Amino acid sequence: MTSSDPTAQGVPADAMRRLAELEPGKPGSIFTSDLSVNEFLLVREAGFKPIGLVLGSSIYHVGIQLGRWGKNQELTTLSQAMYHARELAMTRMEAEAAALGADGIVGVRLTVEAREFGNDIAEFIAIGTAVKADNPAPGGGSWLNNKGLPFTSDLSGQDFWTLIRAGYAPLGMVMGTCVYHIAHQKMGAVFSNLGKNVEIEQFTQALYDARELAMSRMQAEAEELNAEGVVGVQLNAHNHRWGGHTTEFFSIGTAVRPLREDHQIERPTMVLSLDG
Amino acid sequence: MTDMSESWSGAGLPPAAAERMAEVRGSGTWSSALSTGEFAAVRAVGFEPVGQVMGSAVYHVGRSGRYWGYHDCLFNGAGFGFSFGGGAGPAPVALSGQGAPSAALVDVFEQARRTALGRMTAECSVLGGDGVVAAELTMAPFPAQPNCLEFKVIGTAVRANGPVRSKTPFTSHLDGQGFAKLVTAGWVPVELLVGMSVGVRHDDYRTQRQTYSWQNVEVTGWSQLVHEVRADARTQLQRQGARRGGDGVILANGTLRVWREGCLRAASRIGGTSSEQEDHVAEATMIGTTVARFETGGSRPGTLAVLPLGNRGDRLRKRLAAVASSPYGDPAEYRRLVTELNDAGGQG
């Protein structure tokens, strides 16, 4: 195995030579990337070059809406706010990537943060790494999605590598959200259930309704992109700052399309690590 | 050890550091904060540790208040009533990267960080190292004195096997494994960078109206503030990276801090020490390492898909603890590890 010994191959010497020959770069000749080392290397190996860190943010003031105390209902103003603000952040990030001539954005993190801006105001941020493909997509197609925009994906570099290897390409991040007010129990119901372990159908139904709404909205976005499917779906409940009985259900995933017919990954090798 | 009585001009290494370096170099025994795994990884790609190195600098950094005037919003309408101030147009973002007064503050930070990094690389050179891996750059308040900050960077110096040397040692935030993976794939770290930007924006009439709205509305001025500050930090990072060259920057971590300050400009307009008008200040910091691609004779091994049979849970937990204790542990990496740990389930 001497041929794979890096020192024998002169790897450290080659690295040092490059370092010694470094020259100051021209502005704009350097890319920035938010990927970890593992991700960076895997994205490169999947045939994509990082070209820049892209970001979009929106600071959003959420309007006021009151839910009826005893009624299960979607709070449409809040749902729309969550949707619109995320959409703004994503669009701005995509615009930056398109300006760089990117084919896609990987490792997108879409987060909401409450900063020192005051109540009812939150920052919605989208950060990712814009990438450009070394080769055109198999079959001669473009990597851009059917809206002519760079693809987006919240998959990590590891998942991205696996996805490309398996013959799929991301199309875009799809999301659905629903802010729901869950009815309080009526006095009579509380008393009749006293001391009993029973299902509260009203609550179950509320959670079902809200989740189904969020998921069907995500589904609709995926259909708009002509996706074959959605991978890596996360369905989360966020309580933000609206108090009890009001919850945001947020589902997000990456819509994918097939690149080729056979979706085979080479058979994995079994390994036993000796370092742990 | 000496009793610290030697005086020091601030140039070169402090006497205590110079003495330790001489001792280490003489003894032939190295110390390092690398874990066994990191040590093995660094050795495996043809580098060996030569010693633990450190750089530190304590700076006095006064920040807020009128005396320093760093947080001037540069808005002509500040201090006027809204009916009049509205004529001054929307408030701009006073950005350090574009020469706003806060640029002086950013310069102090940059200078302090560069001093600490310079002292660390000086120690590395004395030990005959070619670069520093796992460099952790931290900023902490100096306990004895208010408004003083200690900028400290600590890492492990390594030396490349082979005859080729570089004039300036490389510095990198990557741990041993990260460094090894990078070198294996044909990339060499170049320099640890910090991009920083401060932006100030006056809360003008439009901003106030938006925050008191009953409807859903984007607070456009604040969106602009955070976006420009982040974008400026990114530009600073690229600018610094271009100084020594390289092909790209891998980010270790980025933070954004936002806070409210009484408007200095409005206060001085009405001749008082404070006014009811406020500014919002945003400060973005991005830490990363430039990398450069190199060509090598041997063929590079491709990535292999594997099914691990080892005690994965323990290893993940160790990685998780390492990420959690690092001063700029990547939050994304942390979340990934937690998910992986949960996924591993009974297989750990």
CB contact under 8 A, B164 and A165: no
Longest CA–CA span in chain B (Å) reads: 75
Residue A33 confidence class, pLDDT cut points 50, 70, 90: confident
Report d(CA B347, CA B335) in Å as an integer. Answer: 19
Measure CA of the first residue to CA of the last residue in chain B; give whole Å: 48
Q: For residue B124, what is the enclosing H or E element?
A: helix B102-126
Q: Summarize the confidence of residues B68-81 as an average pLDDT.
A: 78
Q: Summarize the confidence of residues B323-335 as an average pLDDT.
A: 76
Q: Summarize the confidence of residues B183-210 as an average pLDDT.
A: 89
User: Nearest by CB to B167, which of A17, A20, A57?
Assistant: A20
What the block records as the tokens of A187 is 């006095």
Mind listing the pLDDT tens digit for each residue in B220-261?
899 999 999 999 999 999 888 888 888 889 888 888 888 888
Closest CA in chain B for residue A7: B46
Mind listing the pLDDT tens digit for each residue in B204-228?
888 888 888 778 888 889 999 999 9
Q: Distance between alpha carbon A103 and the CA centroid of its chain, in Å?
A: 17
Residue ranges with strand state E in A20-88: 31-33, 48-61, 73-74
pLDDT at A143: 87
Check residues B268 and A86 and name the one with the higher pLDDT: A86
Confirm whether the ipTM is greater than 0.90: no
Is A1 in the B-facing interface, judged by CB distances under 8 Å? Answer: no
Residues of chain B in contact with residue A53, where contact means CB-CB under 8 angstroms, are: 234, 251
Report the share of chain B in percent with pLDDT over 70. 89
Residues in chain A: 276
Residues of chain B in contact with residue A36, where contact means CB-CB under 8 angstroms, are: 178, 250, 330, 332-333
Q: Summarize the confidence of residues B261-274 as an average pLDDT.
A: 79
Contact residues, A window 136-175, toward B, CB-based 8 Å cutoff? 156, 158, 161-162, 165
The overall average pLDDT reported for chain B is 83
Is B60 in the A-facing interface, judged by CB distances under 8 Å? Answer: no
Q: Is the pLDDT of residue A123 over 80?
A: yes
pLDDT at A4: 62
CB contact under 8 A, A16 and B314: no
Is B254 in the A-facing interface, judged by CB distances under 8 Å? Answer: yes
Collapsing DSSP states into helix, strand and coil, what is residue A259?
A: coil
pLDDT at B229: 94
Residue B346 confidence class, pLDDT cut points 50, 70, 90: low
Residues of chain A in contact with residue B226, where contact means CB-CB under 8 angstroms, are: 57, 59, 123, 125
CB contact under 8 A, A14 and B297: yes
- Site from A14, A38, A270 to mutate, B interface, most B CB atoms within 10 angstroms: A14
pLDDT at B289: 92
Report the share of chain B in percent with pLDDT over 90. 24
Q: Is the pLDDT of residue A276 over 50?
A: no
Contact residues, B window 79-118, toward A, CB-based 8 Å cutoff? none
CB A30 within 8 A of CB B290: yes
Q: Is the pLDDT of residue B164 over 60?
A: yes
Check residues B290 and A22 and name the one with the higher pLDDT: B290
pTM for this entry: 0.80
pLDDT at B67: 64
Q: For residue A105, what is the enclosing H or E element?
A: strand A104-113
